[in-house]
Amino acid sequence: MSIDPAADLPFFYGSISRVKAEDYLKLGGMSDGLFLLRQCLRSLGGYVLSIVWNLEFHHYSIEKQLNGTYCLIGGKPHCGPAELCEFYSKDRDGLVCLLKKPCLRPSDTQIELGVFDSLKDNMLREYVKQTWNLEGEAMEQAIISQAPQLEKLIATTAHEKLPWYHGKIARHESERRLYCGAQPDGKFLVRDREESGTFALSMLYGKTVYHYQILQDKSGKYFMPEGTKFDTVWQLVEYLKMKPDGLMTILREACLNGKAVEKTPSLPATRRAGANGYTPPPRAVAGASTPVDTVPAERDILPMDCSGFNPYHNPNEVKKFNIQRSQLLMDEVELGSGNFGCVKKGVLKTQDSGQIDVAIKVLKSENEKLVKEEMMREAEIMYQLDNPFIVRILGLCNAENLMLVMEMASAGPLNKFLSANKDTVSVENIVNMMHQVSMGMKYLEGKNFVHRDLAARNVLLVNLQFAKISDFGLSKALGADNNYYKARTAGKWPLKWYAPECINFHKFSSKSDVWSFGVTMWEAFSYGGKPYKKMKGPEVIRFIDAGNRMDCPAACPERMYDLMKECWTYKHEERPDFNKVEESMRLYHYSVSGKAKPEGAAAAAEPVK
C-alpha cells in the first residue's frame, strides 16, 4: 500500500543484505563510483548507499529525520532519496567518491520488501478500522487517499493499540503480570515509567524479570543503551524481536494487556482530552457550517474526522428511494441554486444512524415536466454510484416539491473555497484534494459513466481535507460496448472545460472527462481562478486548435502542470485515462505530504562499519 519514496529509482533494491548488495555491484562491473541504494534495517525509513571505489565496497547510512528529510550521517538534509543521490553525483561532500554510475536492478528482479513494510500496512489498516470504524472498500479508499498522513499518525501512537503495551503500571505490577501463567524466556511487556514520561521494557529470562529503560535521544528517537535508534516504540519492539541489541534474549511472547479489541471508534487514550473525550477543533474550516469538532488539537484534521455521519461510510443503511417528508427537517439556509430550484441545508432522521446533515435539492414547484425528468435522471445516475469521493444520494422525497436528498458537503464548491482561503490552503492540500477527485473519476471511469461537467464549481468540499464530485445533471451511463456518448445536439455546454472532440464531434468519453480534470486542476492550483481569462468559448476553441494551452498557475508545482498538459493532449487516443491520472496524482501526493523543506547544512558524511 504505502509507496517507498525510492520505489521509482532503478538502482533501488529494497531490503537486501550487505552481502547481496556487494554481489550486485560485482555483477555491475566494480567501476569507481558504481552505486546502489537499499533499505536500511537499522534505521527505519532510512537507506544505505553502497558504492564501489578502488575495487572496495563502501556503505553509507542514510537516515530519515523526524522532519521527513534524509541525510547521510553528518551530511546535508535532502527532501528525498532521489534528491540526495543526485546531490552526491555532483558533490562528494565527504563521500569516498562521486556517485558516477547507478548499478541498475535487473529487469526480472523485484524490489525486496522489508519486514516493516507489511507490518506497517497491517498496523495502518488496524488503526483505521478501530479509530474510524471503517471496513472494506471504504477503508481502502480512505487509506489510499490519506496514506502519508495516516502513516505519520500511527507511527507515533500505534504502540497504544498493541497487546504488549500496558500503559502506566508500577514495576511490581509488571512483574506480577509477567509471572502470571507460563514463564518462557523473552515474555515481555512495555509500560510507561511512573515518574518520567519515558517507557520501560520488562522481560522474563530464566524465570526472573529484567527491567530496561527505553531511552530517548534529543530528536525523540527510541533506543536501548548502545542500541539502534528508532522513530517509534513499536518499531523498536519489532526490531528487538529479531535482534537482542544488548538484552538477555530477543523478545518472544507478548504478555497480553487483556484489553478487548475496541468496538466503538475512538482515538488512542493520550489523544483524548476534556470531559467529552475530545479537544476543540484546531481551526474551523472557513465556509463550513458544521466545523469539524472531533479532532484532537495536536494533529491535522482527516476526512474521517467529520462529525456525525462519517461520509466514508457506505450509507446504504440509510439510503432509501422514498424518504418520508416527516423524516426531513429543512433549514431556511440556502446552500446554492440552479435553474431547477435551490439546494437547502437539512437534517435526515434515520433509525440506525441518528440525525444526518444533508443537502436537499428542491425542485421549484412551477418547474415544468422536463426539469423534473432531468432531476430524476440525475438521481438515477447518482443512485448507481457509491464512492467516498462522489456526493452520494440518500434518497428522493416527493412532498410539497420533489426533493433530492444528498450527503452534505458543507464547505461548498472548491473554486469559491480556494479563492476565499488563499492564505490558509497549502499547495499540498490542493494536491490531496485533487488526488481525491482523480480517485472519484477513476471509479466513475471504471463504472463506465461519463460526468460531462467536471469543473471546480462541481467539486464540493466536506472539509479542508475531503473533496467530493457532484452535479451529475449532464452525466451519462455508457453502454457495455460503448466507450463514448454522442450528443445529438449541442446544448448549453461549459465549453472551456470541454475537449476538442466534444465540441467538434459531440463525443463524450472518460477521456474527455480527463481533459476537464486538467482544467479543474488549473482552477484549483490558481486558487479558484477563471480559466482562459476573458476569452469567449469560440476564442478558446481557436486558441486550443492553434496548439496553445493555459500557462502554469503561479503556485503550481511543475509536475502538476506537466500532468495538466498531458490531460490536454489534443487527440483523445493519446490522452491518459483516469487510471494513469490517479497514479500520477497519488505518487506526487505521497511524495509531498508531510515533507519538510530541507534546511541547514552539516559536516562531511562518515561511512558506517
β 34-39/101-102 pair status: parallel
| Residue nearer to ligand AMP on the CB measure, 337 or 424 | 337
For ligand AMP, the closer CB: 209 or 359: 359
DSSP string, 512-533: HHHHHHHHHHHHHHTTSPPTTT
User: 417 vs 522, which CB is nearer to ligand AMP?
Assistant: 417
Q: How far is the CB of 535 from ligand AMP (least distance, A)?
A: 23
- The candidate with the shortest Cα–Cα distance to 564, out of 545, 550, 583, 577, is 550
Q: How far is the CB of 412 from ligand AMP (least distance, A)?
A: 5
Query: What is the C-alpha to C-alpha distance for residues 188 and 209, in angstroms, rounded to an integer?
Result: 9
For ligand AMP, the closer CB: 251 or 343: 343
Q: Which is nearer to ligand AMP, 203 or 411 (CB)?
A: 411
Closer to ligand AMP by CB, 203 or 335: give it.
335
CB of 466 to ligand AMP, least distance (A): 12
Distances (CA, A) of 520 to 192, 328, 414, 513: 50, 34, 9, 10
The answer to whether residue 4 is catalytic is no
DSSP structure string for 323-339: --GGGEEEEEEEEEEET
Please, which residue, 16 or 362, has the CB nearer to ligand AMP? Answer: 362
Shortest CB 323 distance to ligand AMP, Å: 15
Bridging pattern class, strands 253-254 and 187-192: parallel
Phi then psi dihedrals of residue 322, to 5 deg? -110, 115
What's the min distance (Å) between Cβ of 392 and ligand AMP? 9
Q: Which three cell numbers stand for residue 302?
A: 482527516
| Shortest reach from residue 553's CB to ligand AMP, in Å | 22
> Are 343 and 362 a contacting pair, CB within 8 Å?
yes
Least distance CB 449 / ligand AMP (angstroms): 16
Q: Specify the DSSP class assigned to residue 1.
A: -
Q: Applying CB under 6 A, which residues contact ligand AMP?
A: 335-336, 338, 343, 359, 391, 406-409, 412-413, 457-458, 460, 470-471
Q: Which amino acid is at 379?
A: A
Number of Cα atoms under 13 Å in the Cβ half of residue 576 = 20
Query: Ramachandran region of residue 369, left (φ > 0), alpha (ψ -120 to 50) or beta?
Result: alpha
Among 323, 471, 455, smallest CA distance to 385 is for 471
Q: Which residue is nearest to ligand AMP (CB)?
A: 336
Separation between Cα atoms, residue 406 and residue 360, nearest integer Å: 6
Nearer to ligand AMP, 344 or 435 (CB): 344
Contact at 8 Å (CB) between 454 and 469? yes
Q: Where are the beta strands (DSSP E) in 385-458?
A: 393-398, 402-407, 412-413, 449-450
- Give the DSSP H/E element, type plus range, for residue 417: helix 414-420
The single residue listed with the C-alpha cell 567501476 is 31
> Of the listed 4, 357, 453, 513, which one is catalytic?
453
**If you ran DSSP here, which 8-state letter would residue 261 be given?**
P
**Whole-number Cα distances in Å, 265 to 135, 290, 305, 310, 515:** 12, 20, 11, 11, 40
Query: What minimum distance in Å lies between the beta carbon of 345 and ligand AMP?
Result: 8
Nearest distance from residue 358's CB to ligand AMP, in Å?
8
- The whole-angstrom separation of Cα 144 and Cα 131 is 16
Between helix 578-592 and helix 510-525 the angle, nearest 10°, is 30
199 pairs with which residues across the strands?
192, 214
* b/e 534-547 (16+ beta carbons within 10 angstroms → b): eeeeeebbeebeee
DSSP conformation class of 487? -
Smallest distance from ligand AMP to CB 337, Å: 6
| Dist CA 404 CA 471 (whole Å) | 12
Question: Which helix (H) or strand (E) is 486 found in, with range?
Answer: strand 485-486
Q: Which is nearer to ligand AMP, 383 or 543 (CB)?
A: 383
Q: Closer to ligand AMP at the Cβ: 265 or 336? A: 336
Q: What is the DSSP letter of 159?
A: G
Question: Which residues are annotated as catalytic?
Answer: 453
